[in-house]
Amino acid sequence: MRVLVTNDDGIASPGLAALAAVAREAGHEVVVAAPATEYSGMSAALAAVTTQGRVAIEQTSFGYAVPAAPAYIVILATLGVFGPVPDLVLSGINPGANAGRAVLHSGTVGAALTAVARGLHGMAVSLDYLAAVDGPTLHWTTAAATAGSLLDRAAAVPPGVAVNLNVPNRPSVASVRAASLAAFGQVQIQILETGDGYVRTDFLQTAERPAPGTDLALLAEGHATLTLVRPPAEVAEPGIPHQRDGGSAQDRSPGLG
């Protein structure tokens, strides 16, 4: 299996190296292409730095350093920029959980969602150092090993579905639990100061208690969490005609003559 490893923290991130290493150890063909600098919180933005319309790609000893957001890098991969199109995109390992409905804003998750929207498989991997901190140590190898054990599962999920994995910051993980998304994120934007023509904000840890069985609740209990997520898709509204595959909405809506 050909695997693209990317992230939103940059080519020099230790989490990126740990994730690429575990994929190689599993026997997969791995190509690394990641932002040259940090692009956190970019969701699935197609942002890139260009010079005269060109995106400069530096080929380093570790992988490709691209001055672009991770979702943009994934699209480049689907267009063959880094060689044959990958089967699976791994995004991470992010320092900090990507959990709850705040995954909407995550560049790490955005890369995985972009992958599945383009017909590939995708898994985002994050290390939660807020809910289960083990001193100053970040256990990248724990998160990488957990992700490595799920590579085949990530490559076998139904089309259009991405895997979001969060791992507690511990030397080992006893279990991986399926989890729903918490109603909020682990951190939220809060206003620190307002004035005439300006506002000052910061990201602060959420004080609310997550509902049992959600990703944030299970992470706080020391479990790794696995959540399946989808890119945006239309939702059929009852009573509103919805047209598909040609023909008129009237022709295809039951009860309309």
The structure tokens listed for 36 are 């040259």
Q: Which residue matches tokens 């197609």?
A: 46
CA distances from 206 to 98, 154, 172, 256 (A): 13, 30, 25, 48
64-100: burial string, b at 16+ Cβ within 10 Å, e else? bbbbbbbbbbbbbbbeeebeeebebbbbbbbbbbbbb
| Mean pLDDT of all residues belonging to the chain | 90
Q: Is the dihedral of CA 104, 107, 111, 117 positive or negative?
A: positive
Which of residues 131 and 76 earns the better pLDDT score?
76
Comparing 25-34, 160-169, 207-216, the range with the smallest average pLDDT is 207-216
The SS3 assignment for 194 reads: strand
How far is the C-alpha of 236 from the C-alpha of 247, rounded, in Å? Answer: 17
Which backbone phi and psi does 172 adopt, to 5 degrees? -150, 160
Phi, psi values for residue 122, rounded to 5°: -150, 145
Q: What is the length of the chain?
A: 257
> 223 φ, ψ to 5°?
-95, 145
Lowest mean pLDDT among 26-40, 69-83, 108-122, 170-184: 170-184
CB atoms near residue 24 (< 10 Å): 15
How far apart (Å, rounded) are the C-alpha atoms in residues 103 and 182?
10
The span from the CA of 237 to the CA of 73, in Å, is: 34
Beta-bridge partners for 193:
200
- Cis preceding linkage at 57, omega within 30: no
| pLDDT confidence band for 138 (50 / 70 / 90) | very high
Using pLDDT thresholds of 50, 70 and 90, give the confidence band for residue 174: confident
Q: Identify the pLDDT of residue 256.
A: 34
**Tens-digit pLDDT profile for residues 212-222:** 999 999 999 99
Residue 140 pLDDT grade (very low, low, confident, very high; cuts 50, 70, 90):
very high
> pLDDT confidence of 247, banded at 50, 70, 90?
very low
Alpha carbon distance 10, 167 (integer Å): 20
> What architecture (CATH level 2) is domain 2-252?
3-Layer(aba) Sandwich (3.40)
The secondary structure of residue 77, as a DSSP letter, is H
Residues above pLDDT 70, as percent of the chain: 91
